[in-house]
Amino acid sequence: AQTVTQSQPEMSVQEAETVTLSCTYDTSESNYYLFWYKQPPSRQMILVIRQEAYKQQNATENRFSVNFQKAAKSFSLKISDSQLGDTAMYFCAFMKHLNTGTASKLTFGTGTRLQVTL
Partner 1 sequence: ETGVTQSPTHLIKTRGQQVTLRCSSQSGHNTVSWYQQALGQGPQFIFQYYREEENGRGNFPPRFSGLQFPNYSSELNVNALELDDSALYLCASSSGGPDTQYFGPGTRLTVL
Stretch touching partner 1 by CB under 8 A, among 19-27, 59-67, 68-76, 89-97: 89-97
Stretch touching partner 1 by CB under 8 A, among 14-22, 39-47, 60-68, 75-83: 39-47
Min CB(37)–partner 1 separation in Å? 8
Contact 117, 15 (CB under 8 A): yes
The answer to whether 35 contacts partner 1 (rule: CB under 8 A) is yes
What angle (nearest 5°) sits at the alpha carbon of residue 77, between those of residues 105 and 47? 45
Min CB(89)–partner 1 separation in Å? 9
Strands 19-21 and 24-26: unpaired
Number of Cβ atoms within 10 Å of the Cβ of 54: 11
Min CB(18)–partner 1 separation in Å? 25
In angstroms, the Cα distances linking 7 to 13, 15, 20, 84 are 17, 23, 12, 23
The answer to whether 42 contacts partner 1 (rule: CB under 8 A) is yes
| 14/31 with CB nearer partner 1 | 31
Q: How far apart are CA 23 and CA 37, in angstroms?
A: 12
* Residues of the shown chain interacting with partner 1 in the complex, contacts defined by CB under 8 A: 4, 33, 35, 37, 42-47, 50, 91, 93, 95, 97-98, 101-111
